[in-house]
Amino acid sequence: MFDYWNPQIERMPREDLAKLQEDRLKSMVHYVYDHSPFYKERFKEAGVEPSDIKVLGDLAKLPFTYKVDLRNTYPTGMFSLPRNRIVRYHVSSGTTGKPTVVGYTKDDIEMWSDSLARALTSIGLGRGDVIQVGYGYGLFTGGLGLHYGAEKIGATVLPTGTGNTERQIMLMQDLGSTAIACTPSYFLHIAEVAERMGVSIRDDTSLKVGVFGAEPWSDETRRRIEEATGIKAYDIFGTSEMSGPLFTECREQSGIHVWSDLFLIEVIDPKTGEQLPDGETGELVITTLSKWAIPLIRYRIGDLTKIDSEPCACGRTHPRLMRILGRTDDMIVIRGINVFPSQVESVLMTIPEVGDHYQIIVDRKGPLDIMKVMVEVTETGFSDKIADLMSLSKRISKELKGVLNVVADVELVEPGTIPRSEGKAVRVIDKRKV
Ligand SMILES: [Zn+2]
């Protein structure tokens, strides 16, 4: 068993950790002021000087950074170092307009890999494991991020990337993958295809761990994956602006450990910008403490979550993020009510007749928003009796109304109807935007 990658840091007493953060924050503020014209300007606008930041509590004096800042300074206006220090670019596709470009120094890549080395070790992976990386390689940060982290801990990497599902399953069997990293929806698809091929993930492969992320998912989906395939499913978190995937849950599965020697986290009220106490849900804000090509000060990630700073049973002293509800961008507003796709998923996955795939379609009828949820029924739940199906769709609609307070039109479809995705699943089609 591999317990800690860096026990000294991971179990560091809280007071020492806070001191380390304070020292790093002070140097980071001076660094961005001296190296980034963008931040120098932003600090001046806010009337704050690096010397004003003396203790951790002074963080709230600093101005926020927004995703739109990265877009407005496309491609490299937010970089703090010249190109001859940059060893890699990644680019994240924007849904509207310009994408965002991120860059890394050698030390930035090292920090990223180290963060994942700690995370992968915390879920029991190490030398001797075969980690199948089923995230996209290339401009997306998922594939290469996991790849470097897995190599760092001495595991064997199987860089399958996304797609070619039957071959993924064959290689998983033949090369003995013990872990897979991909989106949860793609893993559900892999499990479905394996079943069709007559391969049981539980009995015919060595797979024991899944590292799932890049899209919001629920504890109910986790339960389904674990029960159906016999693996342990862990949540992973990170965004390209922060580097890429960085943090996972530990074996306790009770929140994602954020390495707080590397990143300072706050949760704020998205409307007022005020810091919220631990345990309250708000928007996640991060400040990088050890990142040099594009350091970020109080960057508003857009994910809604809460922080738990209670000590974890695993012995790590770093705070945990509770399951991410989704991004403020993913939120759908139906007749003035906020709905997250992950909430719909939570409801659906508790109903045994409902399959693993669903899609939400939002449209407008006259002045009114309407929400339709397309739901696949399981093979066993599917009935040719219209009355059975009607009562099932009524029941689903009632459960959704109970949780979301929104009336949804539920359409039941046969297994295999909803398009499968190899990367991020398309859970929402908002026809109002077209
Ligand atoms: Zn833990």
The pLDDT tens digits of the residues spanning 69-106 come to 999 999 999 999 999 999 999 998 765 678 899 999 99
pLDDT of 296 reads: 98
Query: Quick one: pLDDT band at residue 342, thresholds 50, 70, 90?
Result: confident
CA of 402 to the centre of ligand 1 (A): 33
Average pLDDT value for residue range 138-165? 97
Q: Does the pLDDT at position 215 exceed 90?
A: no
pLDDT of 348 reads: 94
Please check whether residue 259 is in contact with residue 236, taking contact to mean a CB–CB distance below 8 angstroms: no
In the chain, what is the straight-line distance between the N-terminal and C-terminal CA atoms, in Å? 52
Query: Quick one: pLDDT band at residue 61, thresholds 50, 70, 90?
Result: very high
pLDDT of 240 reads: 94
Q: Bridge partners of 106?
A: none
Average pLDDT value for residue range 353-368? 92
CA of 223 to the centre of ligand 1 (A): 19
Give pLDDT tens digits for 370-383: 999 999 999 887 77
Q: Does the pLDDT at position 367 exceed 90?
A: no
**Residues in the 5 Å CB sphere of ion ligand 1:** 250, 252, 312, 314, 316
CA of 218 to the centre of ligand 1 (A): 19
CA of 262 to the centre of ligand 1 (A): 17
C-alpha span between 368 and 313 (Å, rounded): 49
CA of 196 to the centre of ligand 1 (A): 37
CA of 346 to the centre of ligand 1 (A): 24
C-alpha span between 340 and 329 (Å, rounded): 10
CA of 23 to the centre of ligand 1 (A): 25
Q: Does the pLDDT at position 166 exceed 60?
A: yes
CA of 120 to the centre of ligand 1 (A): 12
C-alpha span between 206 and 208 (Å, rounded): 6
Q: Provide CB contacts within 8 A for 339, sequence distance 6+.
A: 331, 332, 333, 371, 404, 406
Q: Does the pLDDT at position 36 exceed 70?
A: yes
pLDDT of 1 reads: 54
CA of 74 to the centre of ligand 1 (A): 38
Question: What is the rounded average pLDDT for all residues in the chain?
Answer: 94
| Extended beta strands in 27-182, E state | 88-92, 100-104, 130-133, 156-158, 179-182
C-alpha span between 242 and 282 (Å, rounded): 19
CA of 423 to the centre of ligand 1 (A): 28
Reported pTM: 0.91
CA of 247 to the centre of ligand 1 (A): 11
The residue among 195, 214, 307 whose CA lies nearest residue 256 is: 307
CA of 179 to the centre of ligand 1 (A): 19
pLDDT of 277 reads: 95
CA of 294 to the centre of ligand 1 (A): 29
CA of 259 to the centre of ligand 1 (A): 11
CA of 46 to the centre of ligand 1 (A): 38
CA of 357 to the centre of ligand 1 (A): 30
CA of 287 to the centre of ligand 1 (A): 22
CA of 311 to the centre of ligand 1 (A): 8
pLDDT of 142 reads: 95
CA of 254 to the centre of ligand 1 (A): 7
The residue among 372, 376, 270, 250 whose CA lies nearest residue 326 is: 270
Q: Given phi > 0 = left and psi -120 to 50 = alpha, else beta, which region is 319?
A: beta
CA of 317 to the centre of ligand 1 (A): 8
CA of 430 to the centre of ligand 1 (A): 38
CA of 314 to the centre of ligand 1 (A): 4
CA of 280 to the centre of ligand 1 (A): 20
CA of 318 to the centre of ligand 1 (A): 8
Supply 85's token pair.
Answer: 């220090």
CA of 141 to the centre of ligand 1 (A): 25
Please check whether residue 208 is in contact with residue 270, taking contact to mean a CB–CB distance below 8 angstroms: no
C-alpha span between 215 and 243 (Å, rounded): 16
CA of 146 to the centre of ligand 1 (A): 20
